[in-house]
Structure 1
Amino acid sequence: MRYLIIVFTLLFSSAALAQESVEEATTKAVEGFLYGASINDPQAHDRFWADELTYTSSSGNRFDKEHLMSGVKSSKTKEPENVEVWYGAEDIEVKQFGDTVVFNFTLTAEEEGKVTKYYYNTGVLIELDGRWQAVNWNATEVPE
Structure 2
Amino acid sequence: MKRLLIFACLVLSMSASALSQTAKDAPVLTGLLNEFLAGAGRNDVEVHDRFWADDLIYTRSAGSRIGKSELMKGVRSAPAANAGEPVTTYTAEDVRIQQYGNAAVIAFRLVGTTLRSDGSKSVSNHLNTGTFIKRKGKWQVVAWQATTVPKPDAEKKSP
Give the TM-score normalised by structure 2.
Answer: 0.72
Q: Which amino acid aligns with 1:42?
A: V
Q: Does 1:135 align with 2:138?
A: no
- Structure 2 distance, partners of 1:82, 1:49, is 27
2:49 is aligned to: 46
Which is higher, the Rg of structure 1 or of structure 2? 2
Q: 1:9-38: per-residue Cα shift (whole Å, max 9, x none)?
A: xxxxxx99xx46411110100110111110
> Any idea what the Cα deviations from partners look like across 1:88-116, whole Å, max 9, x if unmatched?
10000000111100000000001228561
Kindly report which structure 2 residues correspond to 1:51-90, keeping only aligned pairs within 5 A, or say none. Answer: 51-76=54-79, 84-90=87-93
Asked if 1:117 is matched to 2:117, the reply is no
* Percent of paired sites with the same residue: 39
The answer on whether the counterparts of 1:58 and 1:139 sit within 8 Å (CA) in structure 2 is: yes
* Structure 2: gaps of 5 or more residues: 1-17, 152-159
Q: 1:85 aligns to what SS in structure 2?
A: strand
User: Scaled by the length of structure 1, what TM-score is found?
Assistant: 0.79
Q: Which residue of 1 aligns with 2:33?
A: 30
- CA offsets, 1:106-144, max 9 Å, x none? 000012285611000000001234332100000000011
Amino acid across the alignment from 2:108: F
AA matched with 1:142: V
Q: CA RMSD in A?
A: 2.4
Instruction: Using the TM superposition, give the Cα deviation of residue 82 of structure 1 relative to its aligned residue in structure 2, in angstroms.
Output: 6.8
Q: How many pairs does the alignment contain?
A: 127
Unaligned runs of 5+ in 1: 1-14
Name the residue aligned to 1:97: 100
